[in-house]
Chains A and B, each alone.
Chain A
Amino acid sequence: MASKCVGIAGAGGLGSNAAAALVRAGIGRLVVADFDVVEDSNLDRQFYFPDQTGQPKVYALKNNLLRINPTAFVRVFHEKITPDNARSFFSSCHVVVEAFDNAEEKEWFAVWMDKHLPRIPIIMASGISGWGHPEQMRVQRTSNMYVCGHQVEPEKKEIPLLAPRVMQVAMMQADLVLEILLKDIPQTHDHNVKQ
Protein backbone atom coordinates (compact mmCIF):
# COMPACT_ATOMS: atom_id res chain seq x y z
CA MET A 1 0.00 0.00 0.00
CA ALA A 2 2.94 2.32 0.53
CA SER A 3 3.37 2.43 -3.26
CA LYS A 4 -0.29 3.13 -4.04
CA CYS A 5 -1.58 6.56 -5.01
CA VAL A 6 -5.07 7.73 -4.08
CA GLY A 7 -6.64 10.89 -5.52
CA ILE A 8 -8.95 13.00 -3.35
CA ALA A 9 -11.14 15.46 -5.23
CA GLY A 10 -12.12 17.98 -2.57
CA ALA A 11 -10.78 18.51 0.96
CA GLY A 12 -13.98 19.18 2.90
CA GLY A 13 -15.71 16.85 5.33
CA LEU A 14 -15.42 13.79 3.12
CA GLY A 15 -12.00 14.36 1.61
CA SER A 16 -10.16 15.49 4.73
CA ASN A 17 -11.46 12.65 6.88
CA ALA A 18 -11.00 9.99 4.19
CA ALA A 19 -7.43 11.20 3.64
CA ALA A 20 -6.65 10.89 7.36
CA ALA A 21 -7.97 7.32 7.47
CA LEU A 22 -6.01 6.37 4.36
CA VAL A 23 -2.74 7.76 5.71
CA ARG A 24 -3.34 5.92 8.99
CA ALA A 25 -3.99 2.74 6.99
CA GLY A 26 -0.62 3.06 5.29
CA ILE A 27 -1.39 4.54 1.88
CA GLY A 28 1.89 6.03 0.75
CA ARG A 29 0.83 8.63 -1.78
CA LEU A 30 -2.12 11.00 -1.86
CA VAL A 31 -3.04 13.67 -4.39
CA VAL A 32 -5.49 16.23 -2.96
CA ALA A 33 -7.01 19.14 -4.87
CA ASP A 34 -9.32 21.82 -3.44
CA PHE A 35 -9.70 25.59 -3.90
CA ASP A 36 -11.22 26.40 -0.51
CA VAL A 37 -9.85 27.79 2.78
CA VAL A 38 -10.56 26.55 6.31
CA GLU A 39 -13.40 28.40 8.03
CA ASP A 40 -14.71 28.25 11.58
CA SER A 41 -17.88 26.62 10.30
CA ASN A 42 -15.86 23.67 8.95
CA LEU A 43 -14.41 22.66 12.30
CA ASP A 44 -17.49 20.72 13.44
CA ARG A 45 -16.89 17.95 10.90
CA GLN A 46 -13.73 18.46 8.88
CA PHE A 47 -10.20 17.39 9.80
CA TYR A 48 -8.91 20.86 10.67
CA PHE A 49 -8.18 22.82 13.83
CA PRO A 50 -9.01 26.34 15.06
CA ASP A 51 -5.48 27.66 14.47
CA GLN A 52 -5.81 26.72 10.78
CA THR A 53 -8.73 28.97 9.87
CA GLY A 54 -7.91 31.12 6.87
CA GLN A 55 -5.37 28.63 5.49
CA PRO A 56 -6.04 26.86 2.19
CA LYS A 57 -7.52 23.49 3.12
CA VAL A 58 -5.02 21.51 1.09
CA TYR A 59 -2.02 23.01 2.92
CA ALA A 60 -3.63 22.57 6.32
CA LEU A 61 -4.57 19.01 5.43
CA LYS A 62 -1.08 18.18 4.24
CA ASN A 63 0.33 19.39 7.57
CA ASN A 64 -2.19 17.32 9.52
CA LEU A 65 -1.57 14.20 7.45
CA LEU A 66 2.19 14.51 7.89
CA ARG A 67 1.65 14.64 11.64
CA ILE A 68 0.05 11.20 11.33
CA ASN A 69 2.79 9.85 9.08
CA PRO A 70 5.78 12.10 8.34
CA THR A 71 6.90 9.79 5.53
CA ALA A 72 3.62 9.94 3.56
CA PHE A 73 3.90 11.62 0.18
CA VAL A 74 1.08 14.16 -0.08
CA ARG A 75 0.83 16.22 -3.24
CA VAL A 76 -1.64 19.09 -3.07
CA PHE A 77 -3.15 21.52 -5.53
CA HIS A 78 -4.82 24.68 -4.27
CA GLU A 79 -7.05 25.02 -7.32
CA LYS A 80 -10.63 24.48 -8.30
CA ILE A 81 -10.89 21.15 -10.10
CA THR A 82 -12.16 21.56 -13.65
CA PRO A 83 -12.41 19.38 -16.76
CA ASP A 84 -9.25 21.15 -17.96
CA ASN A 85 -7.00 20.28 -15.03
CA ALA A 86 -8.50 17.06 -13.61
CA ARG A 87 -6.36 14.82 -15.78
CA SER A 88 -3.13 16.43 -14.60
CA PHE A 89 -4.16 15.85 -10.97
CA PHE A 90 -5.54 12.32 -11.10
CA SER A 91 -4.27 10.40 -14.12
CA SER A 92 -1.53 8.66 -12.14
CA CYS A 93 -3.81 7.59 -9.27
CA HIS A 94 -4.86 3.99 -8.68
CA VAL A 95 -8.26 5.10 -7.38
CA VAL A 96 -10.01 8.46 -6.97
CA VAL A 97 -12.31 9.57 -4.13
CA GLU A 98 -14.95 12.12 -5.18
CA ALA A 99 -15.42 14.48 -2.24
CA PHE A 100 -17.08 17.51 -3.78
CA ASP A 101 -19.76 19.48 -2.01
CA ASN A 102 -22.39 20.10 -4.64
CA ALA A 103 -24.34 17.78 -6.88
CA GLU A 104 -23.53 19.58 -10.13
CA GLU A 105 -19.83 19.05 -9.51
CA LYS A 106 -20.36 15.41 -8.57
CA GLU A 107 -22.19 14.91 -11.84
CA TRP A 108 -19.64 16.45 -14.19
CA PHE A 109 -16.80 14.70 -12.40
CA ALA A 110 -18.46 11.27 -12.65
CA VAL A 111 -19.13 11.76 -16.35
CA TRP A 112 -15.64 13.17 -16.94
CA MET A 113 -13.91 10.29 -15.13
CA ASP A 114 -15.97 7.74 -17.06
CA LYS A 115 -14.96 9.35 -20.35
CA HIS A 116 -11.34 10.35 -19.73
CA LEU A 117 -9.98 8.03 -17.02
CA PRO A 118 -12.34 5.04 -17.34
CA ARG A 119 -9.92 2.51 -15.89
CA ILE A 120 -9.53 4.35 -12.59
CA PRO A 121 -12.19 3.36 -10.04
CA ILE A 122 -14.13 6.35 -8.67
CA ILE A 123 -15.64 6.28 -5.19
CA MET A 124 -18.37 8.88 -4.85
CA ALA A 125 -20.58 10.13 -2.04
CA SER A 126 -24.22 11.15 -2.30
CA GLY A 127 -26.54 11.84 0.59
CA ILE A 128 -24.67 12.49 3.84
CA SER A 129 -26.89 14.99 5.65
CA GLY A 130 -28.82 14.34 8.82
CA TRP A 131 -28.28 11.93 11.69
CA GLY A 132 -29.37 8.60 13.09
CA HIS A 133 -30.23 5.28 11.47
CA PRO A 134 -26.68 4.60 10.29
CA GLU A 135 -27.94 1.47 8.53
CA GLN A 136 -29.46 3.76 5.86
CA MET A 137 -26.00 4.40 4.53
CA ARG A 138 -25.29 2.11 1.61
CA VAL A 139 -22.99 1.56 -1.32
CA GLN A 140 -24.26 1.35 -4.88
CA ARG A 141 -21.79 -0.42 -7.15
CA THR A 142 -21.82 -0.32 -10.91
CA SER A 143 -18.72 -1.38 -12.83
CA ASN A 144 -15.90 0.73 -11.40
CA MET A 145 -18.11 3.42 -9.85
CA TYR A 146 -19.06 3.21 -6.19
CA VAL A 147 -21.56 5.59 -4.57
CA CYS A 148 -21.68 5.85 -0.75
CA GLY A 149 -24.50 7.51 1.18
CA HIS A 150 -28.28 7.43 1.55
CA GLN A 151 -29.06 9.08 -1.82
CA VAL A 152 -32.16 10.65 -0.29
CA GLU A 153 -32.86 14.31 -0.96
CA PRO A 154 -33.89 15.88 2.36
CA GLU A 155 -37.46 17.17 2.41
CA LYS A 156 -36.32 20.18 4.38
CA LYS A 157 -33.51 21.96 2.62
CA GLU A 158 -31.69 22.85 5.80
CA ILE A 159 -30.91 19.41 7.18
CA PRO A 160 -27.41 19.90 8.60
CA LEU A 161 -24.21 18.06 7.89
CA LEU A 162 -23.08 16.51 11.15
CA ALA A 163 -19.79 14.86 11.94
CA PRO A 164 -20.98 11.28 12.55
CA ARG A 165 -22.63 10.77 9.16
CA VAL A 166 -20.06 12.80 7.24
CA MET A 167 -17.31 10.72 8.80
CA GLN A 168 -19.27 7.49 8.35
CA VAL A 169 -19.48 8.07 4.61
CA ALA A 170 -15.86 9.24 4.42
CA MET A 171 -14.87 6.00 6.16
CA MET A 172 -16.99 3.97 3.73
CA GLN A 173 -15.11 5.67 0.90
CA ALA A 174 -11.74 5.00 2.54
CA ASP A 175 -12.68 1.38 3.20
CA LEU A 176 -13.64 0.92 -0.46
CA VAL A 177 -10.23 2.30 -1.44
CA LEU A 178 -8.68 -0.50 0.61
CA GLU A 179 -11.07 -3.06 -0.89
CA ILE A 180 -10.00 -2.03 -4.39
CA LEU A 181 -6.29 -1.80 -3.67
CA LEU A 182 -6.20 -5.03 -1.64
CA LYS A 183 -8.59 -7.08 -3.75
CA ASP A 184 -6.03 -9.83 -4.34
CA ILE A 185 -5.35 -10.36 -0.64
CA PRO A 186 -7.73 -12.86 0.97
CA GLN A 187 -9.22 -12.09 4.37
CA THR A 188 -9.39 -15.03 6.74
CA HIS A 189 -12.85 -14.00 7.91
CA ASP A 190 -14.26 -13.74 4.38
CA HIS A 191 -16.47 -16.80 4.87
CA ASN A 192 -17.93 -15.26 8.02
CA VAL A 193 -18.72 -12.01 6.24
CA LYS A 194 -20.64 -13.80 3.51
CA GLN A 195 -22.84 -15.86 5.84
Chain B
Amino acid sequence: MTITLNNRKETFDTGPLTITDILHIKSFRFKMLVIKLNGALIAKELYDSTLVKEGDTLDVIHLISGG
Protein backbone atom coordinates (compact mmCIF):
# COMPACT_ATOMS: atom_id res chain seq x y z
CA MET B 1 0.00 0.00 0.00
CA THR B 2 1.02 3.61 -0.46
CA ILE B 3 0.43 6.22 2.23
CA THR B 4 1.58 9.75 2.89
CA LEU B 5 4.03 9.52 5.80
CA ASN B 6 5.30 12.86 7.12
CA ASN B 7 4.44 14.59 3.85
CA ARG B 8 6.13 11.98 1.65
CA LYS B 9 4.65 9.11 -0.33
CA GLU B 10 5.74 5.86 1.23
CA THR B 11 5.04 2.40 -0.18
CA PHE B 12 4.88 -0.77 1.91
CA ASP B 13 4.91 -4.34 0.60
CA THR B 14 1.66 -5.15 2.35
CA GLY B 15 -1.27 -3.37 3.87
CA PRO B 16 -3.20 -2.46 5.88
CA LEU B 17 -0.61 -2.24 8.68
CA THR B 18 -0.98 -1.21 12.29
CA ILE B 19 0.76 1.93 13.52
CA THR B 20 3.06 -0.28 15.59
CA ASP B 21 4.02 -2.19 12.41
CA ILE B 22 4.88 1.01 10.60
CA LEU B 23 6.93 2.36 13.51
CA HIS B 24 8.85 -0.93 13.48
CA ILE B 25 9.37 -1.05 9.71
CA LYS B 26 10.50 2.57 9.60
CA SER B 27 12.69 2.12 12.72
CA PHE B 28 10.99 4.99 14.55
CA ARG B 29 12.12 4.25 18.08
CA PHE B 30 11.32 7.52 19.74
CA LYS B 31 9.82 7.41 23.20
CA MET B 32 8.12 10.76 22.81
CA LEU B 33 5.85 10.76 19.82
CA VAL B 34 2.61 12.28 18.76
CA ILE B 35 0.92 10.38 15.97
CA LYS B 36 -1.87 11.68 13.80
CA LEU B 37 -3.76 9.54 11.31
CA ASN B 38 -5.65 11.59 8.74
CA GLY B 39 -5.37 14.54 11.12
CA ALA B 40 -6.77 12.74 14.17
CA LEU B 41 -4.51 12.18 17.17
CA ILE B 42 -4.12 8.50 18.06
CA ALA B 43 -3.61 7.55 21.70
CA LYS B 44 -0.52 5.46 22.47
CA GLU B 45 -2.58 2.51 23.68
CA LEU B 46 -4.22 2.29 20.26
CA TYR B 47 -1.00 1.97 18.20
CA ASP B 48 -1.28 -1.82 18.23
CA SER B 49 -4.87 -1.88 17.03
CA THR B 50 -5.17 1.12 14.69
CA LEU B 51 -4.91 0.15 11.03
CA VAL B 52 -3.32 2.39 8.42
CA LYS B 53 -4.81 1.83 4.98
CA GLU B 54 -4.03 2.66 1.37
CA GLY B 55 -4.15 6.41 0.80
CA ASP B 56 -4.04 7.38 4.48
CA THR B 57 -2.03 10.29 5.78
CA LEU B 58 0.13 9.44 8.77
CA ASP B 59 2.11 12.03 10.72
CA VAL B 60 4.71 10.77 13.18
CA ILE B 61 5.92 13.77 15.13
CA HIS B 62 9.11 13.37 17.16
CA LEU B 63 9.13 15.40 20.34
CA ILE B 64 12.56 16.57 21.41
CA SER B 65 13.41 18.50 24.55
CA GLY B 66 14.58 22.09 24.28
CA GLY B 67 12.74 25.30 24.72
Contacts and interface: CB of A to CB of B under 8 A. Distances in A.
Interface of B is mostly: loop
Interface string A131-166: 000000000101101010101110000000100001
B6 interface: yes
Interface residues of A, number: 34
Contacts of A166: 66
Interface of A is mostly: mixed
Contact of B63 (A103, A114, A129): A103
B46 interface: no
Contacts, number: 78
A10 interface: yes
A142 B66 contact: no
Given A140-B59, A147-B61, A111 B41 contact: yes
A121 interface: no
A104 B67 contact: no
A99 B61 contact: no
A133 B15 CA distance: 37
A127 B66 contact: yes
B65 interface: yes
B59 A152 contact: no
A142 B64 contact: no
Interface of B: 6-7, 30-34, 36, 39-41, 43, 57, 59, 61-67
The 10 closest A-B CB pairs, nearest first, are: A143-B39, A103-B32, A101-B67, A142-B59, A103-B63, A114-B41, A102-B65, A151-B62, A142-B36, A127-B64
